[in-house]
């Protein structure tokens, strides 16, 4: 018998709320985006200036991910040029305490 014969065809899915939370938080830029939005509504350019290491493509991807997960809302205003603002939803605001606790932990242990 080959090694693949021992792998179950339908692996059991384990529900893990921590894993779900980490999925919502997304990649490495999400925490920095959240940090900025905890202070209030921001435009794309403001976010990019406040997180200088992030590329426009990575920032766009992070914002789309957080919007898809219901953490932030994107508001488009028909100006010339178009104005786009990002605001946390109540779901996103609830992440503030989690991020704050992670910051305190890091300050204590790292």
Q: What is the pLDDT of residues 44-85, one digit of tens each?
A: 999 999 999 999 999 999 999 999 999 999 999 999 999 999
Indicate whether this model's pTM tops 0.75. yes
- CB proximity list for 40: less than 8 A, separation 6 or greater: 87
Confirm if 88 and 38 have CB atoms less than 8 A apart.
yes
CATH 1.10.10.10 assigned to 27-109: yes
User: What is the predicted pLDDT for the residue at 12?
Assistant: 63
Report the alpha-carbon distance of residue 68 to residue 11 in Å, rounded: 27
The pLDDT, as a whole number, for residue 2 is 54
The rounded Cα 108 to chain-centroid distance in angstroms is 24
* Edge-to-edge strand list for the sheet holding 83-88: 42-43, 83-88, 72-77
């Amino acid at each position: 018998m080959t090694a693949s014969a021992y792998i179950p065809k339908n692996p059991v899915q384990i529900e893990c709320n921590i894993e779900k939370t980490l999925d919502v938080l997304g990649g490495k830029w999400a925490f920095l985006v959240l940090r900025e939005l905890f202070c209030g509504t921001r435009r794309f350019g403001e976010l990019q200036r406040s997180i200088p290491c992030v590329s426009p493509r990575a920032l766009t991807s992070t914002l789309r991910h957080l919007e898809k997960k219901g953490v932030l809302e994107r508001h488009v205003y028909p100006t010339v040029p178009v104005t786009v603002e990002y605001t946390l939803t109540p779901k996103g605001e609830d992440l503030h305490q989690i991020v704050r606790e992670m910051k305190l932990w890091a300050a204590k242990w790292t």
